Amino acid sequence: MIKYSRPMKASVSRRTLLGATAASGVVATGALAKSAAPAVGDAWNAVEAVGQAAILSQAVPGMQVCVRRGDAVLFSRGFGLSNLETRTAMDAKSVFRIGSVTKEFTAALVLSLAEKGRLQLDDPLGRFLPSFPVPALTLGQLLTHTSGLSNYTSTVSAQTYLEQSRQDRSVQEMVEVVAGAEPLVVSEPGAAWAYSNSGYVLLGAVIESITGSYAQAMADFLRPLGLQNTAVDDGREVIDGRASGYVAQPESSAKFANAPYAAMSYAGASGAMRATAEELGLWRSALLSGRVVSADSLAFMTTPARLSSGSLPTDDAGSEILYGAGVYLDPMEGRPALRGGGAVQGFVAVCDTVIPTRLTTAILLNVDGNGAPGGRAVMRDLRRAVRDVVAATTG
């Protein structure tokens, strides 16, 4: 079952899969990566070694890793295979589904529409979706997961979810899916924080009601940024370099299977986008440099949301939940950061940015994201290796 959950502070839970054979080794990226090769001698070999080990140990079939500081690419590599059946190498142009990393794109698009006067963050949902059963909650509450709505992907069993997610639906049909969730509401609007894919599906419906098409509005929004491989995904499209997604069969001699079909329309504006690791880094650079939304909108995205009581929300353990609009704000090594993670059938995405240094690490795996210790270890070891190289080369 997809669970677009809080990004992992030190690890991501993933299933292990068969990777490429020892003969295939590490697959370096193409011309783009070559032009962006690290200028620090062999310092990045430690990151390269982690990637190679992940493939040779059969932890994952393939992955992309990109480390970027502002507009400068420090490291960019593809490892393993994009498709195990055709033995297609992973490279910098391989395109992955990114799950809930989609939310920050959706949030930025909503804020952009607000800047144009086409909506306001305190608008009630009923202004745009008058038939929705809870019309009084606001767009700002949907953006910050303080709307009180449940999470439609978690209100059914894992098997039911997999069955339902195979069917393509219109945006209006997805509104009906969300409206039919039981329970629909888990708290009063503004009273508590609860991660809700439902809220972001509804935001996509709001965007569509204003623009005519969520997917086209996103394409128009991203075009000036030069993100050629980042878009709302549709499995019917033939995408050059599309990576195939897999799930683990650790007890089988084959070790892997193709991931179940997932209709991206079922994820909607909560998790339907595709991208590359390099373009996630470019997106973060553009966002933080003011090329995407205004300073006020960026401040809204990157300021932890508070409840109507004025307090920060807390989790069951009493820890503060630091979430802005579409992104977590948990610090990295004591410094302000943007953190995003996503999991969808066959894929895992993580994108972390240290705000003061504009250092972004994006890691994409073509392996299912639910519960694999192998994938968790890969994410942990890659992050640690990147951290050590950056510390060693910057002092």
- Taking only the tens place, the pLDDT of each residue in 94-104 is 999 999 999 99
**Residue 392, pLDDT score:** 84
> Nearest 10 degrees: CA dihedral of 377, 383, 385, 390?
180
DSSP β-ladder status, 72-83 and 88-89: antiparallel
Residue 67: partners with Cβ closer than 8 Å, 6 or more residues away: 47, 73, 74, 75, 76, 281, 359, 360, 361, 362, 386, 390
274's tokens: 């595709």
Q: Helices 214-222 and 102-115, interaxial angle, to 10°? A: 80
3-state secondary structure of 108: helix
pLDDT digits (tens, 9 = 90+) for 100-148: 999 999 999 999 999 999 999 999 999 999 999 999 999 999 999 999 9
**Residue 386, pLDDT score:** 93
**Residue 225, pLDDT score:** 97
8 A C-beta contact, residue 326 and residue 317: no
pLDDT < 70: residue spans in the chain? 1-41, 369-373, 395
**Residue 81, pLDDT score:** 96
**Residue 255, pLDDT score:** 76
CA distance 139 to 260: 33
**Residue 59, pLDDT score:** 85
DSSP β-ladder status, 72-83 and 62-69: antiparallel
**Residue 331, pLDDT score:** 95
* CA-wise closest residue to 74 among 47, 107, 113, 54: 47
Burial (CB count within 10 angstroms: exposed 0-12, middle 13-18, buried 19+), residue 69: middle
**Residue 320, pLDDT score:** 97
